[in-house]
Amino acid sequence: MKTIINHSKVDFTKQPMFFGECLNIQRYDVFKYKKFFDLFKEQMSFFWRPEEVSLVKDISDYKNLSTVEQHIFTKNLLYQTLLDSVQARGIPYISELTSLPEIEAACSAWQFMEQIHSYSYTYIIKNIYANPGDIFDSAMEDQEIMNRATSVTKYYNDLIASYGDSLEDRKRKLYLTLVSINILEGVRFYVSFACSYCFAQNKSMEGNAKILGFINRDENLHLAFTQNMLKILRTDATEGFVEIANELEPVVLKMYEDAANEEIEWANYLFKDGSILGLNAEILTTYMKYLTNKRLSGIGAKHIFGKVENPINWIKNWTYSKEVQVAPQETEISSYKVGSIKNDLNKVNFSKFDI
């Protein structure tokens, strides 16, 4: 029976990642997988608030965008709001099933930052648009956005509804939910990211791009959470998921393929009436295939799109977390360090993560 605190003494270094003993006191002196606690501390050092970025110039920039560009900008904001609404609400269901204090800590920081992301989109929309309520309401009326709501929530909903199922069935549903989260963090955001960064490359909507840079940096970290979880579950027999992972591999590959195709459809919807300088639906189609292959490599799975090169190498200047910076004399600094947190933190080496 699940309890809020376990009164028994348990050696959590010998517990499985999920479906083990309930947690007792929150202690962070010994770990089964210390990398998750390192990622938790890294996330805490990344804390930021959207108000730290001025959107004064973006207000006038938006008015000067073409109708096509305004459509691309607005629809991406609303889609991003959907994705982070799902994550902010869904991560506690992962935390509830873990048996490891370091996973619980990582999920707590993860959920909080997803809430910051959702709030950031509200901050942008309230600054840019005269009637922000109408913009938010329009998301619920956009069939292209709501179609994707079904895809990104399906596995969470299956997991939530699995209470009372057999342990094996719950493990299958948890595993597929973790895959779905990895896809959300590592694939589904990137058409929107690419568009936001392309506007900024063209010296427009730069405040929005700075906020998206902070969000992207966090998502890289969250991608590292799920990549590590999945790699361990796929290969460590003591965790009790290896056979399940092998059984579900065709399903997993289909999930990545379907997500990539949905994002390609999204790009076609965004660019149906025209393009923006340096970016169009054809380029994004190639980019999504490239990125999906890369995410599959990140969890140790095979590619599904053959050999595909990155058609927009300039995006690396924005998407790699350590490169999301501005000059220190600028008002909005994009690289925050909290000394009291960082003093005892060995730097996380992101080179091990395929982000």
* Catalytic residue numbers, as ranges: 121
Beta carbons of 33 and 228 less than 8 angstroms apart: yes
Q: CA neighbours within 13 Å on the CB side: how many for 285?
A: 7
Q: How far is 97 from 20, CA to CA, in rounded Å?
A: 8
Rounded distance, CA 254 to CA 176, Å? Answer: 11
Distances (CA, A) of 314 to 32, 195, 200, 293, 318: 39, 12, 12, 19, 8
Q: Which amino acid is at 10?
A: V
Phi, psi (5° rounding) for residue 154? -55, -50
- List all residues 6 or more positions away from 43 whose beta carbon is below 8 Å from its beta carbon: 106, 109, 110, 113, 218, 221
Which of 45, 105, 30 lies closest to 345 in space, CA to CA? 45
Residues 196, 65 contacting (CB under 8 angstroms): no
